[in-house]
Amino acid sequence: MKYYEVLFRIDAPAVIRQDVCDVLAAMAGEAAFETFEQTGEGMTGYVQQDFFDEDALRQVIAMLPFDQDEVHVDYTIDEAPYRDWNEEWEQQGFEPISVGTHLIIYDGRHLPTLPDGATPPRLIQINARQAFGTGNHATTRMMCACLTEMSLQGQALLDCGTGTGILSIVALAQGAERAVGYDIDEWSVDNARLNARLNGVEERFTSILGDSTVIGQFIGQFDVVAANINRNILLADLPSMRQALKAEGGTLLLSGFYHDDVPLLTDKASQLGLRLEEEKTEDGWSCLRFSI
């Protein structure tokens, strides 16, 4: 498949430059961008030519939640030289990631080691093309931590924007009866299925290609809905996510946004009859747990 290589030049104060890169990467992911590399000027993003929508990219840049008087983003587009993304990731991988004391996420090239006599935590193997969705990012770690702290035995989970499938796999490992994940990226849908097989939970996991319209076929069916997506997508999709929850005892887990965005999410959730039960914060990012 052919890719475009989009060079983003980011002019921003040094104290928020990395924040701008992180938010731009998260939001551009909703415009079909698949991976990013840091550069001296900002970062380079890669998107399949068949899926690239420059109007959507312009909208993403216009919606960046920063003062436009001090943050400027422009870009140039070139055809990317061929690269085997899956092979590159397999060669690099990631070091094992601890989530609290009960969970370690690792890839097949970097096996976890435990001190002699240590109680083995739950191990989740994730083979992924990029680091987001492995636990490297604070939002993923917080979502996984929330799931490990919940009693999920026999429950059903909807995983919105499943990515690597990590949230579904953690929930199933915690005793959930079934999980359904959807994603707009075909590679992610296939990758989530692969990771479910690696962890022996494939019979209880369904991975679907699509956006939030998928939720319409699952009204009132889930005990838990989990979404680690950028703020604007969450605000737009919250009503559908709320409809997917069972009428009693449902839990909504949200992350993918900065702490400063929490009031927007809590206000919207409150309008939908959801109560804030817990907030986690790490590196300026937040994770919220709501109940009906």
Residue 108 is predicted with a pLDDT of 64
Confidence band (pLDDT; 50, 70, 90) for 92?
Answer: low
DSSP-assigned states of every residue in 112-144: ----TTPPP-EEEE---SSSTTTT-SHHHHHHH
pLDDT tens readout for residues 50-60:
889 999 999 99
Confidence band (pLDDT; 50, 70, 90) for 28?
Answer: confident
Task: Give bridge partners of residue 289 from the DSSP assignment.
Answer: 253, 278
pLDDT tens readout for residues 223-264:
999 999 888 889 999 999 999 999 888 999 999 988 989 999
Separation of alpha carbons 182 and 188, rounded Å: 9
Residue 131 is predicted with a pLDDT of 44
Residue 142 is predicted with a pLDDT of 93
pLDDT at 94 over 90: no
Pairwise pLDDT comparison (87 vs 8), residue with the higher score: 8
User: Coil, strand or helix: which one is 41?
Assistant: coil
* 27-42 mean pLDDT: 84
- At a CB cut-off of 8 Å and minimum separation 6, what does 108 contact? 93, 125, 127, 198
